[in-house]
């Protein structure tokens, strides 16, 4: 029996497997880039939320300090911090510090101060995301508040999404592979079926990644307003617990005005009794019915019933333009990485199809070298873009002067030159194969 049909089928299975692997690699690269971008950007949205929560405590402490009283004698830290902690289970701790160290703390994790450059308010490290808010009296900064969140819990939504994107990437990778096995020569005009399917799968995967980022950033941009609504609700829960009436208390409206003053992005903060507005940051709206405004994101948190049986709710309105502006800025940062991923995917496709259609050995070799050459040049050039900023940030964290950055950058290129000179000598005498392999390793 002739072995030619068997070899032909084996070759088709081999080519399909290579195409599946290369397609999966391209799509997983897109997922990886999206994950890296989200991992870098999403904590910034959370930092805005933590800063807003810390500002609520800062306002009370600084009023105490401006009266000339010592920070360590402030009597109500836990009364303010505990409701914030209860309203946001992602928080690990809220603490107040002065020059002598820790003064007050609330939360389920021991408070810690992360190392940061002078003036930096957002820090990440040791499994934590931390925001620092300074505390000032009339003359100087006398302490700070730290609001910390466990990074793993903060990024839990992103972590839950990644397996679905990976599964989608693997499933889509099978589509061009099946076409390569079943219809290896099928074309539509000058375009091959494999190339069209590969492009379509990449576009679908890109759409899924971008949609995931938009959804994640959208939630992050709205998190501050949600946290403020929940925090207000926690502060008012004793009214429900003791079956009291809103009218029995003075100063509740002042708390709402403070929330609005500390968070000017908010359009409105209101307390509703049934559907009627009892307290509103716009005094003219008190007594009217709550009406949802167009072009806003709205959050309502139900607390319970007061002593007269009326339902108490907190309503917060946030202009949607602010949210989508923040989302658009973050997605724009992802655009360059997305284009680079597309270029890499195109090179990988050429690599997978290098043997298609009886291509010559030289053509096949060039298709293999091209992506390797691109990665090498890209990696070598990448350092020039990010290295100065990375070295400068590291120097600031260690408290070094600006000259340390120049010195480290010069040392890097001097080391590069010292390696390049003997390598070029070896290449001249023995050819470039061994230096290239050693450099790749």
pLDDT tens, residue by residue, 189-201 = 677 777 788 888 8
Mean pLDDT comparison of 2-11, 221-230, 380-389, highest-scoring range: 221-230
Question: What angle is formed at CA 440 by the lines to CA 434 and CA 441, rounded to 5 degrees?
Answer: 90
User: What does the pLDDT average to over 152-168?
Assistant: 89
Q: Other CB atoms closer than 10 Å to residue 309's CB: what's the count? A: 9
Burial-class residue 169 by CB neighbours within 10 Å (0-12, 13-18, 19+).
buried
Distance, CA of 75 to CA of 119 (rounded, Å): 28
Looking at residue 236, its pLDDT comes to: 79
Looking at residue 360, its pLDDT comes to: 60
Looking at residue 415, its pLDDT comes to: 85
Q: Other CB atoms closer than 10 Å to residue 160's CB: what's the count? A: 9
Looking at residue 1, its pLDDT comes to: 45
Report the chain's mean pLDDT, rounded to a whole number.
Answer: 80
From residue 121, alpha-carbon distances to 41, 47, 146, 159 in Å are 16, 9, 9, 25
Torsion of CA 106, 108, 114, 120, to 10 degrees: -50
386 backbone dihedrals φ, ψ, rounded to 5°: -105, -15
Looking at residue 95, its pLDDT comes to: 93
pLDDT tens, residue by residue, 315-353 = 888 888 887 887 887 777 677 777 777 777 777 666 665
pLDDT tens, residue by residue, 241-300 = 777 777 777 778 888 888 788 778 888 888 888 878 888 888 888 888 888 888 888 888
Q: Which two tokens stand for residue 58?
A: 């800062």
Is pLDDT of 90 > 50? yes
Q: How confident is the model at residue 119 (pLDDT cuts 50, 70, 90)?
A: low
**How many Cα atoms are found within 13 Å in the side-chain-facing hemisphere of 63?**
9
User: What does the pLDDT average to over 44-70?
Assistant: 86
Looking at residue 363, its pLDDT comes to: 64
């Amino acid at each position: 029996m002739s072995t030619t049909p068997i070899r032909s089928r084996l070759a088709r299975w081999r080519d399909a497997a290579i195409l599946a692997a290369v397609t999966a690699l391209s799509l997983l690269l897109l997922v990886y880039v999206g994950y890296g971008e989200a991992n870098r950007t999403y904590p910034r949205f959370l930092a805005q939320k933590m800063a807003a929560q810390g500002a609520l405590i800062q306002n009370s402490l600084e009023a105490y300090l401006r009266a000339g009283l010592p920070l360590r004698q402030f009597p109500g830290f836990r009364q303010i911090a505990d409701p914030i902690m209860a309203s946001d289970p992602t928080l690990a701790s809220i603490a107040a510090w002065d020059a002598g160290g820790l003064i007050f703390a609330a939360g389920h994790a021991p408070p810690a101060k992360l190392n940061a450059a002078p003036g930096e308010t957002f820090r990440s490290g040791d499994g934590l995301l931390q925001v620092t808010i300074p505390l000032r009296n009339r003359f100087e900064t006398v302490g700070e508040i730290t609001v910390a969140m466990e990074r793993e819990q903060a990024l839990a939504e992103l972590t839950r999404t990644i397996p679905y994107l990976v599964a989608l990437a693997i499933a889509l990778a099978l589509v061009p592979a099946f076409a390569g096995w079943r219809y290896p020569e099928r074309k539509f005009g000058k375009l091959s079926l494999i190339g069209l399917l590969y492009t379509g799968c990449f576009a679908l995967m890109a759409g899924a990644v971008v949609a995931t980022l938009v959804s994640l950033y959208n939630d992050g941009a709205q998190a501050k307003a949600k946290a403020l609504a929940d925090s207000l609700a926690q502060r008012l829960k004793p009214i429900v617990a003791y079956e009291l009436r809103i009218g029995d208390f003075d100063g509740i409206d002042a708390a709402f005005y403070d929330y609005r003053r500390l968070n000017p992005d908010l359009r409105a903060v209101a307390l509703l009794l049934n559907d009627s507005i009892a307290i509103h940051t716009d005094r003219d709206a008190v007594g009217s019915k709550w009406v949802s405004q167009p072009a806003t994101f709205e959050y309502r948190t139900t607390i319970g019933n007061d002593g007269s049986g009326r339902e108490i709710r907190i309503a917060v309105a946030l202009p949607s333009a602010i949210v989508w502006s923040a989302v658009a800025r973050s997605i724009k940062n992802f655009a360059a990485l997305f284009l680079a991923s597309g270029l890499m995917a195109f090179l990988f496709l050429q690599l997978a199809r290098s043997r298609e259609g009886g291509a010559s050995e030289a053509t096949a070799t060039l298709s293999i070298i091209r992506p390797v050459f691109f990665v090498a040049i890209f990696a070598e050039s990448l350092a020039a873009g990010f290295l100065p900023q990375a070295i400068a940030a590291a120097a600031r964290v260690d408290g070094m002067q600006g000259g340390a950055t120049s010195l480290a950058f010069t040392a890097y290129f001097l080391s590069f030159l010292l390696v390049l000179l003997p390598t070029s000598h070896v290449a001249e005498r023995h050819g470039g194969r061994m230096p290239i392999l050693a450099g790749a390793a």
